[in-house]
Structure 1
């Protein structure tokens, strides 16, 4: 999905994130500056359905104006020669790695 908030806001004459932030706050949607930046920049980490309702109410738009499907980015079905990994744990073993780059103790 492509997030299209800026265009939806521009179509309604809202050109600044601060202006949209003020309108959202007036409707009861309290949002941090960091989350507002993510919404405005086009890369929100997550969004609640309640927040989508408020955004749609403020902008006077529908969900289709905010979210644009991108089916071409969805990978196709696995080809015949490629193994399919089941979610049951029957797939290849996963070796845990530390985040700090150090090796794990021997087993």
Structure 2
């Protein structure tokens, strides 16, 4: 049986677009609305949540965002299957040159 290639699972985060649909363009608009729903985040955390793609997100925060934006989690998070990348194989490498290199000990001293 042929072995299936591994698939890389990813996702797209649509918070910024959904905020714009609600005429919310500043990240500072979101903080007080989250706080009203019991999710207290610093201004920096809200900024990262809006401008980046979170790796971890509490369910409480997800539910609060859905309530604020009137959307479902599926509207915020779009699953994406990316084709697996093949591993690069070095060709023409001179292994003899690699073996002749000797590592040198680092000389760590106090600044003068």
Q: Please give the range of the TM-score, normalised by the shorter of the 2 chains.
A: 0.5 to 0.7
Q: Which of 59, 71, 84 lines up with 1:61 in the alignment?
A: 71
The TM-score normalised by the length of structure 1 is: 0.63
Q: What is the CA–CA distance in structure 2 between the aligned matches of 1:50 and 1:24, rounded to whole Å?
A: 10
SS at match of 1:2: strand
Structure 1 stretches of 5 or more lacking a match? 79-101, 103-107
Offset of 1:34 from its aligned partner? 2.3
Q: Indicate yes or no: 2:25 matched with 1:20.
A: no
Larger strand proportion of the pair:
2
Q: What is the CA–CA distance in structure 1 between the aligned matches of 2:53 and 2:15, rounded to whole Å?
A: 10
Q: Indicate yes or no: 2:84 matched with 1:75.
A: yes
The answer as to whether partners of 1:5 and 1:66 remain within 8 angstroms in 2 is: yes
Q: What is the CA–CA distance in structure 2 between the aligned matches of 1:43 and 1:62, rounded to whole Å?
A: 17
After TM superposition, which residue ranges in structure 1, 4 or more long, deviate above 6 angstroms? Answer: none
The TM-score normalised by the length of structure 2 is: 0.61
SS at match of 1:69: strand
Larger radius of gyration: 2
Structure 2 stretches of 5 or more lacking a match? 1-10, 87-105, 107-112
Aligned length: 79
The answer as to whether partners of 1:35 and 1:44 remain within 8 angstroms in 2 is: no
